[in-house]
Amino acid sequence: MRSMTFTKPLVALVAVAGIGAGSLVTAGTAVAAPSGKQQVVASESVAPLAVVNLGLSTSQAQSVQRWLRDTWGYRGAIDGQLGAESWKALQRMLRGGWNYNDAIDGIVGPNTVKAMQRWLKAGWGYTGAIDGIAGAGTQAAFKRFANYLP
């Protein structure tokens, strides 16, 4: 009976040699490189987990999360990381009066940012274009809002 520590490297070496020689190119490609469709699905499933603080510090983001908990149904941790659940609560708020009409999905896309810019323009000193780009002006106004919160 052969040791597994010897067998695994031997199998890997044979596979690499076969791919190099061209005899296993088709099988190697099917196993080693997933299709583009599989990669897209994997990327979409990870996207909502991203943290997007838009320039807020951890303590500023915690203040926003507490406000979201108290007013917009946020049930996640008060951890200072504005992830999908924080953004879903913000999207619910933006749907209420700032012309957000996209999915409540927690993804900070251009429609979320445009609605946020309308809200920030109305009361938090944002003076830029409603363009869906969370640039310096959008971030500065969001910080003003966060600093206002207790």
pLDDT for 75-114, tens place per residue?
999 999 999 999 999 999 999 889 899 999 999 999 999 9
DSSP 8-class letter at 104: -
CB 88 within 8 A of CB 105: yes
CA distances from 118 to 31, 41, 90 (A): 48, 32, 13
Q: Are residue 16 and residue 75 in the same domain, yes or no?
A: no
Q: Are residue 18 and residue 76 in the same domain, yes or no?
A: no
Rounded distance, CA 149 to CA 19, Å? 60
pLDDT digit string, tens, across residues 122-142: 999 999 999 999 999 999 999
For residue 78, report the phi and psi dihedrals to the nearest 5 degrees.
Answer: -95, 80
Q: Are residue 8 and residue 29 in the same domain, yes or no?
A: yes
Q: Are residue 64 and residue 119 in the same domain, yes or no?
A: yes
DSSP codes joined into one string, 30-53: HHHS--HHHHHHHHHHHGGG----
Q: Are residue 34 and residue 84 in the same domain, yes or no?
A: no
Contacts of 84 (CB under 8 A, 6+ apart): 48, 49, 50, 105, 106, 107
Q: Are residue 132 and residue 72 in the same domain, yes or no?
A: yes
pLDDT digit string, tens, across residues 21-70: 444 344 444 444 455 544 444 444 434 457 888 999 999 999 999 999 99
Q: Are residue 32 and residue 68 in the same domain, yes or no?
A: no
Q: Are residue 63 and residue 36 in the same domain, yes or no?
A: no
- Tell me the residue range of the domain where 41 lies: 4-49
Q: Are residue 114 and residue 140 in the same domain, yes or no?
A: yes
Domain count, the chain: 2
Q: Are residue 83 and residue 140 in the same domain, yes or no?
A: yes
